[in-house]
A and B are shown apart, each in its own frame.
Chain A
């Protein structure tokens, strides 16, 4: 049972346009959501996060939107740049009883920004 789903395995966007990556989750206990970016041969790097008390978080060109009722979040990149081409993972977590964060990841969406 996949608790975090990224239904689009790939996305191509023209440079300068908006990229929208989507993520759906099923577990209502998730209270913290993250986006990671991964280049080939590297580990994922943290991009942006949002807690369940907010519905939007913005950091430069990156904005994450959270719709709790729909159990849906999205990452917007504006404007998209060729260097943004990577695999983007959505992750969700619920604080564990030990205080650690247990991250559940989606399968990733490969974004290709065309010059």
Chain B
């Protein structure tokens, strides 16, 4: 248990579906992140939130829409995804000054 919980663990969705990934941390961290891990590629940073404010959007397509209602929760809303969006989506959180992040276990997403 790392303190960062992601749900669901697995998700299969059609290209016309709308779904959401949820991330929750009760570590008192101020920053939360979404990462994407595709096969044989580096972990790609998607979004960064600091004190609920989005501070980074790494040229992510608009079919991915993040939401951070408070510093403990982070969502990733998905709509009209493509098969190439199938990947492991990882949420992480960190305290600004600690310099390293706790990761959740990830959501394995398959787009069919």
Contact-residue bracket for chain A: 20 to 34
A68 to B2, CA, bound (A): 31
Docked-complex contact B90 and A102, CB < 8 angstroms: no
Which residues between 76 and 112 of chain B lie within 8 Å of chain A, taking CB atoms?
A: 90, 92, 94, 96, 99-106
Contact B42 A104, beta carbon cutoff 8 Å: yes
Which residue on A lies nearest to B6, using beta carbons?
Answer: A43
User: Once the chains are docked, how many angstroms separate the CA of A107 from the CA of B44?
Assistant: 10
Are the CB atoms of B100 and A46 closer together than 8 Å? yes
B74 cross-chain contacts in A, Cβ below 8 A: none
A 82-101 contacts with B by CB, 8 A: 89, 91, 93, 96, 98-101
Q: How far is the CA of A100 from the CA of B48 in the complex (A)?
A: 8
Indicate if the CB atoms of B106 and A43 lie closer than 8 Å.
yes
State the total of A-B contacts with C-beta under 8 angstroms: 72
CA distance A102 to B92 in the complex (A): 11
Given A4-B42, A44-B90, A89-B43, the answer on whether A102 and B105 have CB atoms closer than 8 Å is no
**Closest-CB distance, A54 to chain B (whole angstroms):** 13
Known: A43-B4, A43-B90. A103 touches B105 (CB 8 A): no
Going nearest first, the 3 A-B pairs with the smallest beta carbon separation are: A43-B103, A105-B43, A98-B55
Q: A46-B100, A101-B94 are in contact. List 19 more A-B contacts (CB 8 A).
A: A42-B106, A43-B2, A43-B90, A43-B106, A44-B103, A46-B102, A49-B99, A49-B100, A51-B99, A93-B99, A96-B48, A98-B48, A100-B48, A101-B96, A102-B45, A102-B56, A103-B45, A107-B41, A107-B42
